[in-house]
Amino acid sequence: MARIAIIGAHGKVALRLERLLADRGDHVSGIIRNPDHAADVSAAGATPIVADIEPLDVDALARLLSGQDAVVWSAGAGGGDPARTLAVDREAAIRSMQAAEQAGVERYVMVSYFGSPDRDVPSSNPFHTYAEAKADADEHLASTTLRWTILGPSKLTDAPAVGAIDTNASAGTEVSRDDVAAVVAAALADDGTIGRTIRFNTGATPIAEALRG
């Protein structure tokens, strides 16, 4: 049984992930900002922890993560406000990595997006700030001593799970949130994913096999 903290635990992928992890016997702590979301997190099999990560410093985040075996970053500012996007998707994410190192949590899985960290989104594109924030966070994670994995799903859908992905595509298409959650769960259990950035679409290769490369 692993002790896994999910930051951004009320997200659509995170709630699916909590069910998968709880069903396989892991102890999941779901970190959420809004206390109104606690019931949903509990129903998914996780223990809700109400904490707004945006204003917390590294020491406070380290206390929050103490005792965990792994951290999954599945949070996001949601777009629309560039300043908050940078505050959450870059600054808070990087502090959480520093906190994981400080707390002795060795494993860290980042849920990113297919294009990171290429930095090829033009400044005129409304997606630019988010893309830059994710690139900064992903590059920082890759420079840490953590046993990290960066997962880059393409466009998310609510289609039924396929249970198979394509990790060799040069361009993003789409993938279901159910399959993204399954990929995160599989990556946590597969040390062969450590130190890798894995981009993926829906595909024809079973998830565990696809992650082996």
pLDDT in tens, 156-188: 999 999 999 999 999 999 999 999 999 999 999
pLDDT in tens, 53-110: 999 999 999 999 999 999 999 999 877 799 999 999 999 999 999 999 999 999 999 9
pLDDT score, position 134? 97
Q: Does the pLDDT of residue 190 top 90, yes or no?
A: yes
Select the more confidently predicted residue: 80 or 33: 33
**Cα gap 178→5, rounded to integer Å:** 19
pLDDT score, position 77? 82
pLDDT score, position 46? 98
Q: What is the pLDDT averaged over residues 115-131?
A: 94
pLDDT confidence tier of residue 140, bands split at 50, 70 and 90: very high
pLDDT score, position 121? 94
The architecture that CATH gives domain 3-211 is 3-Layer(aba) Sandwich (3.40)
Q: What is the pLDDT averaged over residues 208-213?
A: 94
pLDDT confidence tier of residue 148, bands split at 50, 70 and 90: very high
Q: Does the pLDDT of residue 203 top 80, yes or no?
A: yes
Neighbours of 192 (CB within 10 A): 11
pLDDT score, position 189? 97
pLDDT score, position 176? 98
pTM score of the predicted model: 0.97
Give residue for tokens 């949070």: 75
Q: Does the pLDDT of residue 5 top 80, yes or no?
A: yes
Sequence-separated (6 or more) residues with CB below 8 Å from residue 152: 112, 113, 114, 115, 116, 197, 198, 199, 200
DSSP secondary structure, 1-69, as one string: --EEEEETTTSHHHHHHHHHHHHTT-EEEEEES-GGGHHHHHHTT-EEEE--TTT--HHHHHHHHTT-S
pLDDT score, position 154? 98
pLDDT confidence tier of residue 213, bands split at 50, 70 and 90: confident
**Cα gap 139→93, rounded to integer Å:** 11
- Residues annotated catalytic, as ranges: 130
